[in-house]
Amino acid sequence: MHTDTVRKLIRLAEHVILIIVMAATLIAVAQEILIIWEHRAVRLSDLLLMFLYLEVIAMVGIYYEENKLPVRYPIYIAIVALARYIILESKSLDAISILGIGGAILILTISVFIVRYGHVKYPWKGEED
């Protein structure tokens, strides 16, 4: 196969997978809205889950438009997911587990700061391959 053909196949696969991820995320959002509607109540965990879905949608949009994935977005998703986990499981978690998860959130937050600082202080000026 020619290099151009391989690149086109890879781009096609990326677009198909992006469509699948977006469709699955939108289905999950619709399911969550139905659950909220059935319970007639919105809990904090529901809102955090919706933010997770929103971050996935934003990540797909950025990847589609710019053909690159900012490392910050998966970190944001991890932070919100860990916060949601603490909220949902807070009654069954012991203090050490909560401190450990809180420490993981702190490390992720510091990593976002470092990545953002690096982008501002040392911007990449070369071409991407």
For 53-106, the pLDDT digits (tens) are: 999 999 999 888 888 877 888 999 999 899 989 988 888 999 999 999 999 999
Counting residues of the chain whose pLDDT is more than 70, the rounded percentage is 96
88 vs 20, residue with greater confidence = 20
The verdict on residue 65 lying in a domain is: yes
The verdict on residue 127 lying in a domain is: no
pLDDT digits (tens, 9 = 90+) for 2-14: 888 899 999 899 8
The verdict on residue 100 lying in a domain is: yes
The verdict on residue 93 lying in a domain is: yes
In order of 65, 75, 96, 112, the CA distances from 93 in angstroms are 41, 23, 8, 26
pLDDT digits (tens, 9 = 90+) for 23-40: 999 999 999 999 999 999
Q: Tell me the residue range of the domain where 103 lies.
A: 3-121
Angle between the 3-39 and 44-66 helix axes, to the nearest 10 degrees?
A: 160
The verdict on residue 106 lying in a domain is: yes
How many domains does the chain contain in total? 1
The verdict on residue 112 lying in a domain is: yes
The verdict on residue 10 lying in a domain is: yes
The verdict on residue 126 lying in a domain is: no
What's the predicted TM-score (pTM) here? 0.75
Q: Which residues have a Cβ under 8 Å from the Cβ of 60 and sit 6 or more positions away?
A: 18, 21, 22, 25
